[in-house]
Each structure stands twice: as C-alpha cells, then as structure tokens.
Amino acid sequence: MNDDRSDLELSKLPFMDMNLDIESRVEDLLQRLTLQEKFTLSSGMKWWYTKPIERLGIRSFAMHDGPHGVRVDNEGKIKSTYFPSAICRSATWNLDLSEKFGIAIAQEIRDVGAHMLLAPGINIQRTPMCGRTFEYQTEDPYLNKKLAVAVVKGVQSQRIAACIKHFICNNQETNRFTVSSEVSERALQEIYYPAFKAAVQEADAWSVMSSYNKINGIYGAENKHLLTEVLRDEWGFKGFVVTDWVATRWGTTTESCVNAGLTLEMPSAIKYDPKKMLQAYEEGKFSLDTFDENVKRLLRVMFLVGLFDKENTLLKGSRNTPEHQTLAREIAEEGIVLLKNTGALLPLDLEKVRKIAVIGPTAKRKTYLGGGSSSNFPPYEVKPIRGIKNKCQDHVELVTTPSEADVTLVFVGLQHKEGGDAENWDKDSFNLPLDQIELINETVKDNPNTIVINTSGSPVSMIEWIDKVPAVLQAWYGGMEAGNAIAAIIFGDTNPSGKLPITFPKKLSDSPGHTSKRTYPGNEKVFYEEGIFVGYRHFDTKNIKPIFPFGHGLSYTNFKYENLEINKDKVSGEEVFNITIEITNSGNHVGAEVVQLYIQDVECSIERPVKELKGFKKVKLKPSEKKTIKFEIGKENLSFFDENDNCWKAEKGLFKILIGSSSRDIRLQGEIEYLG
C-alpha cells in the first residue's frame, strides 16, 4: 500500500466518486482497508469520534448527545439550542413539530462539524420512577413509533445519522449496567420493539445504540438475537450498531460482540482493542465475513452523511438561530398540559388581574444543567419568573404573599439531578419534596385561586393536594424558552393542547411495574411480570383510576365530537376500513385537539388490553369551526402477538372503535367485525 498517496490521487479512487452508488463506494473502500485498519475503525477515541485512517482519507466520524440539544463538552464552551425534554415534545402529539425538531437539531450537529446525533431515546416509560423518563417519549408503543419516525426522518433529511437508543428494555437506571430485563416475547413485540422497528423500517434509521442492560440474560452489545436476527434479518436494518458508552466493560467478549453484529465500541477500545481483536480473529473466534459485514455498515453511514463528499455539496448547518429558539418555544407551548382548570380560573386576563403572587422554588430555577448525557448548554434560558415578568410588566403587580394577591402561581417540581429526573439514578421518591407539598397546601389556604405549575419530566404524586387546588399545569422541562411558554399558556396567548403521553397514577403501587421488588427495581434481574400491561393498558384492565389518564389534557375551549362513520361493518384479510368523525370547536377560543382512536378486541382467545391507541390526529379549529377527521385502519391495528405460533394475528370477531379526547374520555363508539 502506498502511504504517501496525495489528496489528488485519493480523489481519483472509486469510493471518492460522488456519482457512484453508495454500495459500490462501500465495497471499494472496504477492500482497500487492511485488517488492522478495520480494527482501528471499530472503536472510538476522545469520547465522540472514530479514529481517522489518513492513508485512505477517512476522517473521524463524529457523534454527540443528545435528545434535547447538542452537547459537545461538559463545560458549555460550545452552546446549543436547548429544546424541551422528549416527554414534553411527545405531549404535543404533533408529528410535524417532532420532524421540525429533528431537522433543527441535525442542523446544530452539522454546525459543530459532527455526523451523528445520539438520539432519539425511545425506550418505553415503564415506570414513573425511571430517572430517564423525561428523556424518553411515552408509555405507549403506537405514539412512541409515530414520534420516533418523525424525529428520525427530520434528522436524516439533513444527512445526519440518527442513533435510536437504547436497544432494548433499558427502562430503569437502577443497576443499569448489569441488570437483566426479563421480558416476554409478546411484550417485546407489542410494547418495546414497535418504535425501534418503525424507525428502522419507516425512517431507515442509520444507527442503533445497544443498551447497557442484559435482555433475558444477554447484554445488549453481544445479543446476537437482537442485533442480527431481529434488527438485520427481520427488520432489514442497513445501518450500524454502536455500544452505549463503556457498556462493554461489563461481561461480553470480543468475539461475542463481533458475532452478535456490533460494529462500533464507544468511547474507546475495550473489547475491540486491536490486539484483542487480532487474537480472537487468529484463534478463529469470528470470521472475516462476519467482521466485514459489521465494518461495512459504518462505512455505509459514513457515505450517507457525506464524510467523503465535498463540503459545498452538503446541507449547511446552523446553531442557536432565532428559528431554532422559536421552535423550542413552540414545542414547549404545545407540550404543556392543562391537567385541571376548575371554574375556568385559567387563562388569566391581564386587564382584570391586579396582583399575582409568584412563589415556589422552580419559578427562579434554570433546568439545563445536570441530568446526564441529555443535558446541554444553551446561550440563555428563560426562567418561569422571567416569562411571567415579561407579560406582566406595566399591567400587573407581582408579589410574593399569596394572601395579598388575586391569584397565586406556585411553581414546584423536580430537578435534573440525582434522585430527581436524571440519568444513572432512578428517582428516590414518587413525591414532590415535602416542603413543596406543604407550600401548596399552605398557599391554597391563604388564597383559593392557586394555580400549581409542576416542572418535572415524569409523573409525581399529586394526591396530597390535587383536590384543594383549582388549576394545575404540567410544564415538564420546557427548554430554553420555558418561561415564555408557561406565560403564554397562563395568560391565554396560547391555548393549551398538550396531552399526557404517560399515565399519572394516584400512588406508585398502582403502577404496573410496582407490584413487588422483583418487578421493580429487581436485583440482578428485573421481571417484567406485567407483560404487555404497561401504562394505561394496566390501569384500564385492572380498573384502577389514575389521577390523570393517558391522553388527558384540557383546553380553554370545548370540542364537540359527532357523526362517527365507519365505511364497512365487516372486513376480512388485509382490507382496510375508514373511520370518519366530525369535530367542532364549540367554545370561544381558537384551540387544538388531539383526537384519539383506540381499539378494543371484544372477543379474543388471549387476554388483551381494554383498549389500545391505534390512531390520533391533532387538529386546530377556530371557534365554531368544524372539521372531518379520517382514520384508516387495517388488520395490523387489530392484531396481537401470539407467542405460541410466534407471529402476529388478528382473530375473527368484533372490535370496538373508540374515539376520544383522552383514554378515559371516550366520546364516540362504533364497531366492526373482522372476518379473518
């Protein structure tokens, strides 16, 4: 090989030819790499990079966290837009916003010279105690997959790779490096796989991050069943698998990872140390074909992101732009959920209110620091108090004594830190801190017009105060524009339209994962004994009333649902049927509603949930405006996974079509018969 090849000579090699198809470029480059160079490419350096191979002009492939903004360093030297946390984006139920978010964050990745975003995090929210609930999207597999596809499409439209993570069943942080998630095939298929599968099949995700934890006894990074049989063979995945950071420190061997289909070990070589790789190879522990297939996948993504292409042919990056900040604000506004609003206390009328008391620890708190890999450093963050002040100046007097005020805003919530909403630790309590509970209870005694604004990335107990308080907003972690977004909702500039992507239980023991220590947090193993009955599937089936159900969220206007029509009574085989309903804004504010479609299998040979989300549409309506909403439903939406026959099945019989404003506010019902 010629080590002194000039740039000019390199540029003439076939893999550098931008007009050649990607597969030919990959093949050409692969056969030019020596075995040592392939080993070199298989593990990372300096936390975020692959090692360059200068001889062939292969630059470092760079990747950064994370789900809410680009984080290049831990000191905040490089600033980036801080978007609302994933649970807040999910609460918008607005796929368009998720796609725009994907585009914007990819532009920021491009702007820092990188090629892959380590996001979205699409693990299912199995328990409200998981420290990373804020970072994941939802408890429901259908909503999860729709959101995941939108984000991945957005990111990759910019020729930046999305890395869907963490594959799979990384649903808690307790013992995350070593615990084995003991989960049934049916639960994998119906609950935990769908978003990963759809992101691969419908959005062609270019990368998957394997999980730290074991899945049924085998670590994510060496799980051949998951990485090869499921991802590649069944789903047709064309991208590469990367480890979670330092995951290979625990268990695993060089050959178990290579043979499983793991391409890249990050952030540096442990099991993929070139010497260990050579030894394993020479001892015949893996074949060149198997290894080449892993390497090829990284090369393919390198071409897809334009690593070898001329800079001026790539889409331009951008970062910290007013457009991205406006998008962060839009997501925050649409994601805030109005949980309760007795007597239409909200929105507040700036012309009528004279004095507002603003109290509580989270009014003045920034949220961006801490919380692990999904934290980032924005150029600014609008705290809630700033947002309220921006709106109230020259109109309303702001005080701190509830008894003196017309209305009191109490800001409570958790923090991105150990014991709160944070990576590496689960929450240490389902409750808000005791002093906050006392603050709410004391305040409401002094001022009945008390509005609670809860800033948390996961459900918290509200039972201690919810009945006493007339109005509650769930504000999540709303990103760098959170304060302005909260103010826009409080003063009615924006009509709330967020809906809960996760059930808020009355008490933790009501939650499906919390029936015993085996089911959470487990020890060496955590048993997913609830099977498919995760989230509202559990609450509905066991008839447990949550404090706020999945899909719940109020508006300042009202929506009238009517005229459900199903175009067929009976369907068979792969036939699809159409459902239409009419929805009217019957109130006085412009508003958006998320129309939710659930299906119930009336007769089935195995236990199925009372209902399952199978469609939703977000629709914006002016007062008195009416729109027709259409859903298309087919066999896939009627099916369950049959473990005996190891396949998806739809059984003959009746299915109820339930259309509602939340999972527990069903407004219209119909029925179809599936003939098989």
- Answer for the pair 216, 180: CB distance below 8 angstroms, yes or no: yes
Handedness of CA 562, 568, 572, 573 (dihedral sign): negative
Q: How far is the CB of 87 from ligand BGC (least distance, A)?
A: 15
Q: Contacting ligand BGC (CB under 6 A), which of 61, 219, 235, 245? A: 245
Q: Contacting ligand BGC (CB under 6 A), which of 41, 70, 105, 118? A: 118
The DSSP secondary structure of 547-602, one letter per residue, reads SB-TT--B-SS-EEEEEEEES-SEE-TT--EEEEEEEEE-SSS-EEEEEEEEEEES
Q: Which two tokens stand for residue 485?
A: 């977004």
- Beta carbon nearer to ligand BGC, 373 or 503: 373
- Beta carbon nearer to ligand BGC, 48 or 430: 48
Number of chain positions touching ligand BGC (CB under 6 A): 7
Q: How far is the CB of 206 from ligand BGC (least distance, A)?
A: 15
Q: How far is the CB of 211 from ligand BGC (least distance, A)?
A: 8
- Answer for the pair 616, 597: CB distance below 8 angstroms, yes or no: yes
- Beta carbon nearer to ligand BGC, 170 or 259: 170
244 touching ligand BGC, by CB under 6 A:
yes
- Of 65, 244, 421, 426, the active-site residue reads 244
CB burial class (10 A; 0-12, 13-18, 19+) of residue 601?
buried
- Beta carbon nearer to ligand BGC, 215 or 610: 215
Kindly state the greatest CA–CA separation across the chain: 82
Three-state DSSP state, 390: helix
Intra-chain end-to-end CA distance of the chain, in Å: 63
- Beta carbon nearer to ligand BGC, 422 or 451: 422
Residues ≥6 apart with Cβ < 8 Å to 460: 128, 413, 414, 430, 431, 432, 454
Q: How far is the CB of 373 from ligand BGC (least distance, A)?
A: 4
Q: What is the DSSP letter of 637?
A: G
Q: How far is the CB of 66 from ligand BGC (least distance, A)?
A: 6
- Beta carbon nearer to ligand BGC, 136 or 674: 136
Residue 58 CB coordination number (10 Å) = 23
Nearest to 169 by CA among 184, 157, 150, 158: 184
Q: Contacting ligand BGC (CB under 6 A), which of 100, 165, 319, 514? A: 165
Residues ≥6 apart with Cβ < 8 Å to 149: 198, 199, 202, 203
Report 11-70 residues binding ligand BGC (CB under 6 A).
Answer: 65-66
Q: How far is the CB of 223 from ligand BGC (least distance, A)?
A: 16
Distances (CA, A) of 166 to 215, 308, 452, 548: 12, 28, 34, 28
- Beta carbon nearer to ligand BGC, 207 or 461: 207
162 touching ligand BGC, by CB under 6 A:
no
Q: Is 244 a catalytic residue?
A: yes
- Between CA 75 and CA 525 the distance in angstroms is 36
- Beta carbon nearer to ligand BGC, 241 or 581: 241
Nearest to 153 by CA among 86, 103, 224: 103
Site string for ligand BGC, 61-80 (x = CB under 6 A): ----xx--------------
Q: How far is the CB of 374 from ligand BGC (least distance, A)?
A: 7
Q: How far is the CB of 515 from ligand BGC (least distance, A)?
A: 27
Does an H or E element contain 104, and which? helix 95-111
Q: Contacting ligand BGC (CB under 6 A), which of 248, 373, 456, 511? A: 373
114 touching ligand BGC, by CB under 6 A:
no
Select the residue whose beta carbon is closest to ligand BGC and give its number.
Answer: 373
Q: Look-up: residue for tokens 């002009």?
A: 57
Which of the residues are catalytic? 244
Site residues for ligand BGC per CB under 6 A: 65-66, 118, 165, 244-245, 373
